[in-house]
Amino acid sequence: MILSATASLTNQANQISRYFTTLNWDAIIKNLGDRVLSILLAFVIFLGILWAGRLIIDAAFHQSRRIQLLGGTHRAATFHALTLNIFRYTCYFFLLYAILSLIGVPVGTLLAGAGIFSIALGLGAQGFVADVVNGFFILLEQQIDVGDVVKIGTTKGTVSAIGLRTTQVLSSDGTLTFIQNRNITMVQNFSRHNLTANVDIQILPTTPLDKLEKVIEHLGPQLVERIDGLVEKPTITGPTTDAMGRLVFRIVITARSGSQGSVAATCLAAYLKELNQANIPLQNDWGHPGH
């Protein structure tokens, strides 16, 4: 029985040896080399198309006439990024199709006959479809554009890109957050209208409010001319308390979106300078009267 098993193994080994001996190794190596060269050529063509397409798209969106038709620079930047995204995905799809075809995979037959695979792919692509559909409506309704300052969920920052699947938001600390479009359910856009900010000047109970208000009222028109971003004359609210319970004299400024912080700081500096020159007593940060 042992001899029979040994003879069987020897026979199988001889058959395998004869099989590899009869192979045309020159033809196999040549065929393999041709396919590798074809794949490399496909990659080169793909990179060339990607480079040329990007140049054409960049040149098309660089024209000021097209930017005006799209409704502004931010809107044009949004469609520019989206067009590049779609073009890139399309190139990747055709590259994958070409590589599979070059290595002998019958892609068309597989796509036509793989029913179970198609169902599984459809179930797995539900999230992708939801991302694309929600992204389409975000663009259609002009909820956000590239360059807008927004708050999506707990993430606040500047929109840096809007893609087929994700929207990228760059926070003030440099964090780049990728948000799937299907998760964007509520958007706060701070870039569509002018925004207001409070300018609080700490005062004393003995501060002469009439003199203080007169100085601030006189300075208002000058600030509109001097400060870029201040869109109208500041509005005087008057004496009140801030969030910490301190006595303050409040002025409300209206500035272009995104500049309200710097405009408020510049206005406060100008007010303090004028009030100090007028010798109007104010409260300093340490709780002692200042001049």
Q: How do residues 31-44 score in pLDDT, each as one tens digit?
A: 777 777 878 888 88
Report the alpha-carbon distance of residue 164 to residue 146 in Å, rounded.
14
Tell me the fold of 195-285: Alpha-Beta Plaits (3.30.70)
Which amino acid would we find at residue 148? D
Task: Report whether pLDDT(114) > 70.
Answer: no
What lies within 8 Å, CB to CB, of 87 at 6+ separation is 50, 53, 54, 57
Cα separation of 85 and 91, whole Å? 10
Per-residue pLDDT, 252: 92
Range picked from 129-133, 227-231, 257-261 for highest mean pLDDT: 227-231
Where does 63-125 have alpha helices with state H?
Answer: 64-69, 73-102, 107-113, 115-124
Q: Where are the domains of the chain?
A: 22-113, 128-189, 195-285
Question: Mean per-residue pLDDT for 218-237?
Answer: 88
More confident residue, 265 or 16: 265
Let me know if the fold of 128-189 is the same as that of 195-285: no
Lowest mean pLDDT among 26-30, 117-121, 192-196, 254-258: 117-121
pTM over 0.85: no
Which class does domain 128-189 fall in? Answer: mainly beta
| Mean pLDDT value across residues 225-234 | 87
pLDDT confidence bin for 220, thresholds 50/70/90: confident
Highest average pLDDT, of 82-86, 107-111, 269-273, comes from 269-273
